[in-house]
Structure 1
């Protein structure tokens, strides 16, 4: 692996202790690198607009102004050339897949050991995509990979609805939980079934369960259309 010394890294996380920990790791591994911090997505955007020259952004999945891949998608729209790595206290394969599909250069669980974080940063800076081995899908069966490929076609709203289906919720319960109309629920469910290539809610739940799908934060806003 080629050693690449970054000049500037932005850490966007609303927890000061997390930022301090990552700053320490970066300072020890890349002593010439300047580290800037942001406690919210809006603050991160402000920093990048003021001086967009960053070799890498470490973006927390959940913090003020963002949840799931929404923050990543916003940064990618505003700064298309930016290299963004998602960091999270909790990770599952569906979230990792969604992040990579949205343009993340990697996914780093905050539980990784210091040495592993350094290796992950070095890999991304060298141009590779980093995903922890336990979250990597490349060793899965062709059937499971096909299921993941279909799940990646779902919009964030549709993934939330799929999570509700996996939990056994009826349309009426989904409408109540997500504060949307029955018509919107039916449209989302129809879109989910179509994209997964199944004909029933049960088949959708079985497919999602087979690959360990975990829905994104249900508090995220679900749009009024199927998308």
Structure 2
């Protein structure tokens, strides 16, 4: 598999590459900026995973993420950052990022996250995503918690609606709201987050 790390700080870029190499992940290339990354993507046709620094010149917020996603031909692109907020991480996931990795993550955890995202999974450290939430967890209504328990049990919207005495369209709206509150890309991701937070 081929990986690309894009960061404008030489030390950070090379340290992450060394982390991954130490954990047995070979075939890691690097680029010092967005334009260099786009050139490499055009020349190679894409990578199995691109780790993209959020804080580089020219990124223009999540616009740079979308550029790289397009240039990588639909293959995974994840953000890495030492300064981005949990809200930025959530927005990146909603925009289709394969994940979000804080630069403070230990090398072993980073390697596991890279393997997971390269395999098509979504990764984000939920403890980081919860930092902006002073209650220590998402603010869910009682009904949303009931719907979430149904999600965690693997029930369809129709089954959740029947169990709770709701219209199916109402259950579907609750699932959509839950996904937004949890920073999840879909119902399966929402259930995974809920289990991690012991909500379901």
Change (3 A) 1:35 1:94: same
Alignment of 1:3-18 (within 5 A): 7-18=1-12
Asked whether the 8 Å contact 2:113–2:123 carries over to 1, the reply is yes
Return 5+ residue gaps in structure 1 as ranges. Answer: 1-6, 153-227
| 1:58-78 Cα distance to aligned partner (Å, 9 max, x none) | 000011221321211112233
Q: What is the root-mean-square deviation in Å for CA atoms of aligned residues? A: 2.5
Shift of 1:148: 8.6
| 1:111-164 Cα distance to aligned partner (Å, 9 max, x none) | 111121112112212321111121346x523269949939x9xxxxxxxxxxxx
**TM-score normalised by the chain length of structure 1:** 0.57
Pairing 1:19–2:1 present: no
Alignment of 1:22-37 (within 5 A): 22-31=16-25, 33-37=26-30
1:89 is aligned to: 82
Return 5+ residue gaps in structure 2 as ranges. Answer: 131-136, 145-175, 184-200
Distance in 2, matches of 1:18 and 1:55, equals 21
2:191 is aligned to: none
Pairing 1:62–2:36 present: no
1:149 is aligned to: 180
Distance in 1, matches of 2:3 and 2:55, equals 19
Alignment of 1:86-165 (within 5 A): 86-136=79-129, 140-142=138-140, 146=177, 149=180
1:159 is aligned to: none
Asked whether the 8 Å contact 2:6–2:33 carries over to 1, the reply is yes
| 1:19-70 Cα distance to aligned partner (Å, 9 max, x none) | 1111111212235x22221111111000000002411100000112213212
Report runs of 4+ in structure 1 exceeding 4 Å deviation.
143-148
Distance in 2, matches of 1:130 and 1:93, equals 14
